[in-house]
Structure 1
Amino acid sequence: MGNNPYKTLPDSAFWRRSVASVDRDECDPVTSVPFLIEKSDKVATAGSCFSQHIARHLQATGFNYYVEETGHPLLSESILRDFNYGTFSCRYGNIYTARQLLQLFDRAFRTFESSEPIWRYRDSFVDPLRPQIQPNGFVSSDEALFDRAQHLLAVRQMFETMDVFVFTLGLTESWMSRDDGTVFPLCPGVSGGEFSEEKYTFKNWRVSEVIDDLNLFISKLRNINPTVKVILTVSPVPLVATATGKSALSATIYSKSVLRVAAEELSEGNDGVAYFPSYEIITGHHAGNSYFAEDLRSVREEGVSHVMRTFLKWFTHSVDTKSIEDVKAQKTTHSTDTFETEMAQIVKVVCEESALDQD
């Protein structure tokens, strides 16, 4: 073969050299990143349920994981966990779509206020924008509104003072209010409220809409925090259910494709925005579905560890990854049944979307 542009390309540009001929655990689809995370940086997270894994490993490896909304200091860790303190940097629950993120910012800075009332759920009350944040709900609508006000103050403080924001895009499907465009993390009627076609409409966001929402969010964020860096990633977790009328498989491929393209568009040519390929590491051909549990949806700890080893390799200076490597060692010292049981406990995450497929 004569001279041509491919002859000087690195191994990463070739499928055989970078995917087919490397061990599953060593596949690395990253080639460069536009910035590094320092140990002192306040790293905040938000997004779909997969982003909870990122938060957990950042804490375990000694990074300054930023939790602005904390519970009472006298409460035990288990109670704080049950009430979703520390699950994300603030107690906003899962943020599945770009519009939901943009809406959160506008609510925190009082440029948008939803007209949706507090929902009833059985004998309690829930915040329609965080319907599963409070176990067993709030005792009154006033308590729910007070908690929301405190929450939004914490969100505002987080946006103003964080150094790095890791946002995991999860879905393109959502339900919104016909009245004022409020976007909900769950369809009304699933975990509170009552569904009505006259009040709510289904929305499946297009690529251009996701890009516009993320661009607007980043622009607003930089107006109040000019030096903040943003890392976008796409959750590999499939949809629980789809309201498109298509199969869940087709709807999942569409959703992830839209989010992947949007993240690429946002990161190209923008030194302060990076894309990290969590989706590719978990779902790529090299993994052969081995990173998913039997439900083909939950991500095994081995997969999460692969993601985080790669993340730390590229976005940090030298870092102690012992806590991540320990997971690999466990597999060789435990029986399969014991290991799978332990891993199921370790990777348990809060996923509000799961309520769509409960009896």
Structure 2
Amino acid sequence: MKQLKLTTELNVTPSEWKINHQSNIVTIGSCFADVLGSQLLDNKFPVLNNPFGTVFNPLAIAKLLDLSLDGKPPHAALYHQNTDGIWLHHDFHSSLWSASRVDLEEKLIEKQKQVNQFLRNADVLVITFGTAFAYRHRATNVLVGNCHKVPSDKFVKELLHLDQVIIGLEHLLFKLQSIKRDLRIILTVSPVRHTKDTLPLNQVSKSTLRLVCHRLSEKFKQVDYFPAYEIMVDELRDYRFYKPDLIHPNSVAEEHIFRTFGEAFIDKPALDFMKDWEGIQKMLNHHAQHGFTPSHLALLHTLHGRLSDLADQVDLSDELIEINRRIREFPVNS
């Protein structure tokens, strides 16, 4: 009898180049950029994870990177003080805020400097696009990254045109290429559905983003596409892979997408490390059920040995300090 297939598997072609634990990685974009960056950080890769906070539309992402690379300050007319007296900026996520405009400006400029410096030494930039819908600030007539719950009549919502997005991103890619010729760029479309746009328009938005990624990956040899969106909607075509909001992928889906990402872009020694590291993390999080027993002390010494064996590959100084602390605090007569 022919085996019944219950899912359509997506075959992702491995890239010709690979990420390792010496690769400096920047992630930027939607909340999926946060997820991927956190997964890489958890596996000890050097990552600057979504430094500007969540940014959904591609032109807002391009603007932030462009300003950072040029050393230009944030748009002066886009600062906003909310009803609680908190200062925000319409190009940045609400996690970047201050009690005064001056302090916020200093914070944003410092963040831009950090991104500038990291990008100049980066090996990989991962950009995740969330939506092709954007908001235009009426008073300045510029597209912004965040409305910060300001009344909707202060903005105009618009669907970005394909050519409009491609031109903006091409400008950014040429600039990145001039600064760091060997920088590899991975584009993704977020698997998170923007249902507030309605499902039909969400599909229009995602289709626009997908075509942008396709065109750019065709034109620029340093650009690759990772099909996070396709994995979610085709391979994981079932609501059991979503969180209760039926919008965001759950942890099972996130782990599967990350595993597929690793198989495509991470080299074999790093993948082998990740397998060992998964087991070590379980041991690190283990709590002795029966207190200070000889078997638990033996486990700590085993863990110390495994960490020491891997310490020449990545920085595990914090974990070794913690295990040494646990061993030192172990009662002598246990």
- In the superposition, the TM-score normalised over structure 2's length comes to 0.74
Secondary structure class of the residue paired with 1:227: coil
CA 1:296–1:27: 2 relative to 1, 3 Å? same
Aligned residue in 1 for 2:20: 38
User: Using CA pairs below 8 Å that are at least 6 residues apart, which structure has the higher relative contact order?
Assistant: 1
- Aligned 8 A contact 2:71 2:112 in 1: no
Rounded Cα–Cα distance in structure 2 between residues aligned with 1:185 and 1:107: 14
When residues 21 and 36 of structure 1 are mapped into structure 2, their CA distance, relative to the original with a 3 A threshold, is farther
Q: Over residues 124-153 of structure 1, what are the superposed CA-to-partner deviations in whole Å (9 max), with x where a residue is unaligned?
A: 22122224114xx42111111111111111
Q: 1:271: Cα distance to partner?
A: 2.8
Aligned mates of 2:54, 2:236 — CA distance in 1: 29
SS in 2 for 1:236: coil
- The answer for the alignment partner of 2:239 in structure 1 is 289
C-alpha spacing 1:196/1:125, structure 2 compared with 1 (3 Å)? same
Check whether the contact 2:53–2:95 (CA below 8 A) recurs between aligned residues.
yes
For residues 57-114 of structure 1, the C-alpha deviation after alignment (integer angstroms, 9 at most, x for no partner) is: 112223222x3xxxxxxxxxxxxxxxxxxxx242x11121221122112322146752
Equivalent residue number for residue 94 of structure 1: 54
SS of 2:267's equivalent? coil
- Corresponding residue number in structure 1 for 2:41: 59
Give the stretch that moved more between structures: 152-161 or 315-324.
Answer: 315-324
Contact 2:55–2:92 (Cα < 8 Å) also in 1: no
Give runs of aligned pairs for residues 97-112 of structure 1, distance below 5 A.
97-108=57-68, 109-110=70-71
Q: 1:232 aligns with which of 187, 191, 198?
A: 187
1:175 aligns with 2:135: yes
Measured at CA, do residues 132 and 21 of structure 1 come closer, stay the same or move farther in structure 2, by a change above 3 Å? farther
- Whether contact under 8 Å (1:46, 1:166) holds in the other structure is yes
Structure 1: unaligned runs, 5 residues or longer: 1-16, 68-87, 243-247, 330-359
Match of 1:133 among 80, 88, 95: 95
Is 1:278–2:228 an aligned residue pair? yes
* 2:256 equivalent to 1:306: yes
* 2:80 counterpart (99, 119, 123): 119
- For 1:207, the equivalent position in structure 2 comes to 162
1:22-80 CA-partner distances (Å, limit 9, x unpaired): 565x9333124242112211011001001111111112223222x3xxxxxxxxxxxxx
CA distance in 2, matches of 1:117, 1:278: 33
Superposition pairs for residues 160-199 of structure 1, below 5 Å? Answer: 160-178=120-138, 180-187=140-147, 190=149, 193=150, 195-197=152-154
What is the root-mean-square deviation in Å for CA atoms of aligned residues?
Answer: 2.7
Asked if the contact 2:81–2:88 (Cα under 8 Å) also holds between the matched residues in 1, the reply is yes
- Name the larger-Rg structure: 2
Q: Relative to 1, partners in 2 of residues 1:141 and 1:120: Cα closer, same or farther, differing over 3 Å?
A: same
TM-score (norm 1): 0.69
